């Protein structure tokens, strides 16, 4: 015996019904079959809605007409397959259901009331209609289906909308069908009946449960749930596009997944099958050749400790607390008794419950009633001030990870919670199933989809999405985009989907949640209408898309730098090539780091000093591992090292500056380099890394330009006057050369303070060899002494700087990259 349950989409139209008949015919060749059918998809919603409308006293004509039309349209298409012996009773049967529906709705309209019992009856009409259609089709194929009325067979009691089946009684009622009954049976799903045969609903999605109850009562060999997806997925495929169909899961895993929201199975479906050891197969009626998912007692453990994720929205967290609860026996019993009396089911009891507070989750729709019930139960204590006002927090959801393989495995919960932190998702409460096969986090409902997607990636190692919002598209920003474009396919092969979702400057922007196409971005950017402000970036983060958003600052704007704390607070990590934040006021420097810690956001800025050279990281590691750094000094300006290289070769200063400008090695106004401000900023940043608290004004700064030379005024005038400095400068160069020394523009942090200026160094000094746009830094420390640690290489230019920015971005992503 096999029980085959067909869901709403599987009987959704005439073509689908033909498919069902073909599947049944095939199964019938091998064994006895019971078919359990849902309503045509959309019909149950229509009926429930119509009951509401009737209760409001409004017209239900349209709803009734849609009920009739949907079914008669299917009957009409199917009529070519039918003989008059089926056509006539089918048409009459459908008309009779239409009449029944109108009668019920009229009653509801007159009374302005729809009792649970009436709603149960009304909402089951869809299943009865689809069974009439299937019966006619099966008969026409000569299959002789025997109709089973669930109101007689599935005996229930309790709430007419969430009925409790009476298993023993059901087994008795199925006895004749079980023992040598007909070869093919057909039963509408979704409802049973009370002792007198009145309709009792099994709750929304309950046809799965009907089928499971029937399978248990019939001692079936197999229960098949035919639906519109390839089985039970690792997560709801509508929420997580990367989710995949599972081959086999255990009864317990299926139960937990369904309980915590995997809609593919009604939460109660598995219990009857498990009790009788009946394997369940969840399969796709749109792709019958796909094996689907098998639910068995002996499912092998999965490769990953987590088998699947589920998501239960519309949850509220209730908290009862108070000093008066401490050490008083029976408090928990009273809390849950109050819920039971009010017929409110408790979805989850949190790990946070302690002697003086208990918190648990219920459906959001029940939250107010739950609070009232508790207020009643603890009235005396509340009046005596021993219990605080009872709170409830709506708008939540439960995200659960489920898997038999999680038992006795270390680190699963850690991975789960840190994945939630990755996507800036705060956890209101947690709970672990007593069997250790599920862990649930109560989170905000809005966070659900992106949290699901990210936890899924972490649990199954599927592609991780990182979203970059790039501000500033000058030389560094532009080169960064070029490098990402080139490197993206390689990274994707290693499971990282690096998407540039926004490219912007103050005038223009390109935005695409799925990623901006990087060929020809420049022309499209320039054609765009509006720029991006910091608020738009924040709004992006707040929109809570799946993926980890990183703000990448390639501007040199002070305003943008001042916005980092707000961006972090809204959930963005920050990677910056812009020195303005770290070289700004000390107070801002400190606040920035505090914000990063508070919001668990990363702030990376390796390119602030020495472009792509690993300066900041090296320094941090020395300090972290307990080294004491005595002195850091070096050449920190690629442009100045280029200019000095030329003057040494006899090129006049003004010419050397001109060449550097032409090559794009200087800031637009070369005085920013020549006067040393840029180097001063870098040295300031290093000094702060070393723990010093100081401002830019505290850096002793000496310009590269001779003191006697007037460097003020508009840029063209300055450039025109610059040749006057040539001779003064050359004289200095020559004077030092005679002593065997060369001039280097050096920044240093040492016991004497923080300084920037021209320093004559002997030819054999390591810094003497540094020229042509190179940077070099030496770190003299407890461990690196007397020979300092030296880092040297190109310290300017778009290629190395952009690569440094990209490296910071990749540092934010763990896991095996190339």
Return residues touching Mg ion (CB under 5 A). 205
Active-site hit among 83, 682, 712, 738: 682
Residue 402 phi/psi, 5-degree rounding, is -130, 140
709, two tokens: 């030379």
CB atoms within 10 A of CB 127: 27
CB of 209 to Mg ion, least distance (A): 10
What residues form DSSP beta bridges with 442? 398, 429
Which of 204/221 has CB closer to Mg ion?
Answer: 204
What residues form DSSP beta bridges with 188? 37
Residue 9 interacts, among Mg ion, ligand ASP, ligand ADP, none and using kind-specific CB cut-offs from 5 to 8 Å, with ligand ADP
544, two tokens: 């809570």
- Assess contact for 98 and 64: CB atoms under 8 A: yes
Name which of residues 252 to 311 contact ligand ADP (CB under 6 A): 262-264, 308
Q: Which stretch binds ligand ADP (CB under 6 A): 148-156, 233-241, 500-508, 729-737?
A: 233-241
| 9 lies in the site for ligand ADP, by CB under 6 A | yes
CA 616 to chain centre: 31
Total site size for ligand ADP, rule CB under 6 A: 19
Entry field: residues in the chain: 818
Which of 126/797 has CB closer to ligand ADP?
Answer: 126
- Assess contact for 481 and 501: CB atoms under 8 A: no
- Selected binder of ligand ASP within 9, 86, 199, 207 (CB under 6 A): 207
| 233 lies in the site for ligand ADP, by CB under 6 A | yes
- Assess contact for 228 and 20: CB atoms under 8 A: no
- Assess contact for 4 and 36: CB atoms under 8 A: yes
Residue 755: partners with Cβ closer than 8 Å, 6 or more residues away: 683, 699, 700, 701, 702, 746, 747, 748
Residue 316 phi/psi, 5-degree rounding, is -125, 145
CB of 48 to ligand ASP, least distance (A): 9
CB atoms within 10 A of CB 573: 26
Q: Which stretch binds ligand ASP (CB under 6 A): 38-46, 56-64, 301-309, 673-681?
A: 38-46
d(CA 48, CA 58) in angstroms, rounded, equals: 14
- Strand 741-750 and strand 629-635: the pairing is antiparallel
| 227 lies in the site for ligand ADP, by CB under 6 A | yes
Residue 401 interacts, among ligand ADP, Mg ion, ligand ASP, none and using kind-specific CB cut-offs from 5 to 8 Å, with none
Name which of residues 109 to 148 contact ligand ASP (CB under 6 A): 126
Strand 603-604's sheet: what is its strand order?
Answer: 509-511, 496-504, 464-471, 548-553, 573-576, 603-604
Which of 207/438 has CB closer to ligand ASP?
Answer: 207
Residue 503 phi/psi, 5-degree rounding, is -125, 125
CB of 258 to ligand ASP, least distance (A): 13
Q: Which stretch binds ligand ASP (CB under 6 A): 58-66, 199-207, 237-245, 433-441?
A: 199-207
Q: Is 513 helix (H, G, I), strand (E, B) or coil?
A: coil
- Assess contact for 447 and 432: CB atoms under 8 A: no
Q: Give CA separation, 109 vs 58, 86, 233, in Å.
A: 8, 34, 42
| 206 lies in the site for ligand ASP, by CB under 6 A | yes
| 192 lies in the site for ligand ASP, by CB under 6 A | no
Q: Which stretch binds ligand ADP (CB under 6 A): 6-14, 168-176, 575-583, 657-665?
A: 6-14
| 66 lies in the site for ligand ASP, by CB under 6 A | no
CB of 264 to ligand ADP, least distance (A): 4
Residue 665 interacts, among Mg ion, ligand ASP, ligand ADP, none and using kind-specific CB cut-offs from 5 to 8 Å, with none
- Selected binder of ligand ADP within 88, 238, 585, 590 (CB under 6 A): 238
Residue 448 phi/psi, 5-degree rounding, is -50, -60
Which of 161/719 has CB closer to ligand ASP?
Answer: 161
Which of 216/500 has CB closer to ligand ASP?
Answer: 216
d(CA 91, CA 84) in angstroms, rounded, equals: 10
d(CA 657, CA 672) in angstroms, rounded, equals: 12
CB of 324 to ligand ADP, least distance (A): 43
Q: Which stretch binds ligand ASP (CB under 6 A): 36-44, 74-82, 481-489, 638-646?
A: 36-44
d(CA 722, CA 166) in angstroms, rounded, equals: 99
Residue 612 interacts, among ligand ASP, ligand ADP, Mg ion, none and using kind-specific CB cut-offs from 5 to 8 Å, with none
Which of 190/311 has CB closer to ligand ASP?
Answer: 190
Q: Is 250 helix (H, G, I), strand (E, B) or coil?
A: strand
Which of 38/210 has CB closer to ligand ADP?
Answer: 38
CB of 295 to Mg ion, least distance (A): 15
Which of 272/584 has CB closer to ligand ASP?
Answer: 272
Residue 190 interacts, among ligand ASP, Mg ion, ligand ADP, none and using kind-specific CB cut-offs from 5 to 8 Å, with ligand ASP
CB of 296 to ligand ADP, least distance (A): 17
- Closest C-alpha to 210, from 257, 153, 254, 263: 153
Catalytic residue check, 741 = no
x/- letters, 38..77, toward ligand ADP (CB under 6 A) = x---------------------------------------
CA 58 to chain centre: 42
- Distance in Å from the first CA to the final CA of the chain: 54
Which of 190/537 has CB closer to ligand ASP?
Answer: 190
| 12 lies in the site for ligand ASP, by CB under 6 A | no
Q: Is 583 helix (H, G, I), strand (E, B) or coil?
A: coil
Query: CA-based Rg of the chain, rounded to a whole angstrom?
Result: 37
Which of 39/661 has CB closer to ligand ADP?
Answer: 39
DSSP 754-786: EEEEEEEEETTSGGGG--TTEEEEEEEESSS-S
Which of 189/788 has CB closer to ligand ASP?
Answer: 189
| 7 lies in the site for ligand ADP, by CB under 6 A | yes
CB of 6 to ligand ADP, least distance (A): 7
List of residues contacting ligand ADP (CB under 6 A): 7-10, 38, 205, 227-229, 232-233, 235-238, 262-264, 308
Q: Which residues are catalytic?
A: 682
List of residues contacting ligand ASP (CB under 6 A): 7-8, 38-39, 44, 126, 189-190, 204-208
């Amino acid at each position: 015996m096999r029980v085959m349950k067909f869901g709403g989409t599987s009987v959704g139209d005439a073509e689908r019904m033909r498919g069902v008949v073909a599947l049944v015919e095939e199964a019938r060749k091998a064994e006895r079959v019971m078919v359990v059918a849902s309503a045509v998809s959309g019909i149950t919603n229509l009926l429930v809605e119509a009951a509401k409308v009737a209760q409001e006293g409004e017209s239900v004509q349209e709803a009734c007409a849609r009920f009739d039309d949907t079914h008669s349209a299917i009957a009409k298409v199917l009529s070519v397959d039918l003989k008059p012996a089926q056509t006539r009773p089918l048409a009459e049967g459908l008309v009779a259901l239409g009449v029944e529906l109108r009668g019920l709705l009229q009653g509801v309209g007159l009374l302005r009331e729809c009792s649970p019992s009436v709603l149960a009856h009304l909402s089951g009409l869809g299943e009865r209609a689809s069974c009439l259609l299937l019966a006619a089709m099966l008969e026409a194929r000569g299959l002789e289906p025997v109709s089973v009325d669930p109101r007689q067979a599935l005996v229930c009691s309790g709430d007419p909308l969430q009925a409790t089946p009476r298993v023993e009684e059901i087994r008795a009622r199925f006895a004749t069908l079980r023992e040598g009954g007909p070869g093919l049976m057909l039963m509408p799903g979704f409802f049973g009946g009370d002792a007198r045969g009145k309709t009792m609903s099994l709750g929304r999605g309950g046809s799965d449960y009907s089928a499971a109850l029937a399978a248990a009562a019939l001692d079936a060999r197999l229960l098949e749930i035919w639906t519109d997806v390839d089985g039970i997925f690792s997560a709801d495929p509508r929420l997580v596009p990367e989710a995949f169909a599972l081959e086999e899961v255990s009864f317990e895993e299926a139960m937990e997944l369904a309980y915590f929201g995997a809609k593919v199975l009604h939460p109660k479906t598995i219990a009857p099958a498990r009790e009788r050891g009946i394997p369940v197969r969840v399969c796709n009626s749109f792709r019958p050749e796909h094996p689907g998912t098998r639910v068995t007692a002996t499912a092998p453990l999965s490769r990953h400790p987590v088998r699947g994720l589920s998501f239960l929205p519309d949850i509220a967290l209730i908290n009862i607390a108070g000093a008066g609860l401490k050490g008083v026996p029976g408090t928990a019993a009273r809390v849950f008794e109050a819920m039971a009396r009010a017929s409110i089911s408790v979805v989850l009891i949190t790990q946070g419950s302690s002697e003086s507070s208990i918190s648990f989750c219920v459906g959001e729709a029940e939250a107010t009633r739950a609070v009232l019930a508790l207020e009643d139960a603890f009235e005396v204590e509340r009046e005596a001030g021993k219990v605080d006002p009872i709170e409830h927090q709506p708008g939540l959801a439960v995200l659960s990870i489920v898997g038999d393989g999680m038992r006795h495995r270390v680190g699963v919960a850690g991975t789960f919670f840190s994945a939630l932190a990755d996507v800036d998702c705060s956890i209101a409460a947690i709970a672990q199933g007593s069997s250790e096969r599920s862990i649930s986090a109560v989170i905000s409902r809005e966070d659900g989809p992106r949290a699901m997607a990210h936890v899924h990636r972490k649990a199954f190692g599927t592609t991780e999405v990182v979203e970059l919002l790039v501000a500033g598209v000058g030389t560094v920003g532009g080169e960064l985009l070029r490098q990402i474009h080139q490197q993206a396919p390689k990274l994707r092969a290693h499971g990282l989907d690096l998407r540039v979702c926004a490219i912007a400057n103050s005038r223009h922007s390109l935005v695409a949640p799925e990623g901006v196409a990087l060929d020809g971005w420049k022309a499209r950017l320039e054609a765009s209408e509006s720029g991006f402000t910091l608020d738009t970036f924040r709004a992006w983060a707040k929109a809570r898309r799946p993926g980890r958003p990183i703000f990448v600052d390639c501007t040199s704007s002070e305003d943008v730098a001042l916005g980092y704390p707000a961006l972090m607070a809204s959930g963005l990590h920050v990677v910056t090539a812009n020195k303005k934040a770290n070289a700004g006021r000390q107070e801002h420097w400190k606040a920035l780091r505090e914000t990063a810690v508070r919001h668990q956001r990363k702030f990376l800025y390796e390119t602030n000093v020495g472009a792509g050279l690993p300066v900041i990281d090296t320094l941090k590691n020395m300090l972290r591992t307990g080294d004491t750094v005595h002195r850091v000094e070096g050449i920190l300006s690629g442009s100045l090292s280029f200019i000095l290289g030329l003057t040494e070769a006899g090129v006049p200063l003004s010419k050397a500056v001109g060449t550097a400008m032409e090559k794009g090695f200087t800031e637009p106004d070369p005085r920013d380099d020549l006067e040393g401000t840029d180097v001063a900023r870098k040295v300031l940043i290093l000094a702060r890394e070393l723990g010093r608290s100081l401002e830019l004004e505290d850096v002793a700064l000496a310009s590269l330009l001779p003191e006697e030379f007037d460097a003020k005024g508009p840029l063209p005038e300055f450039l025109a006057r610059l040749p006057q400095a040539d001779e003064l400068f050359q004289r200095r160069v020559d004077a030092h050369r005679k002593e065997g020394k060369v001039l280097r523009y050096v920044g240093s942090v040492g016991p004497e303070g923080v300084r920037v200026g021209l320093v004559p160094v002997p030819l054999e000094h390591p810094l003497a060899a540094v020229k042509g746009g190179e940077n070099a830094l030496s770190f003299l420390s407890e461990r690196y002494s007397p020979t300092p640690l030296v880092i040297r290489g190109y310290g300017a230019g778009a290629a190395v700087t952009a690569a440094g920015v990209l490296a910071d971005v990749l540092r934010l992503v763990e896991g095996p990259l190339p």
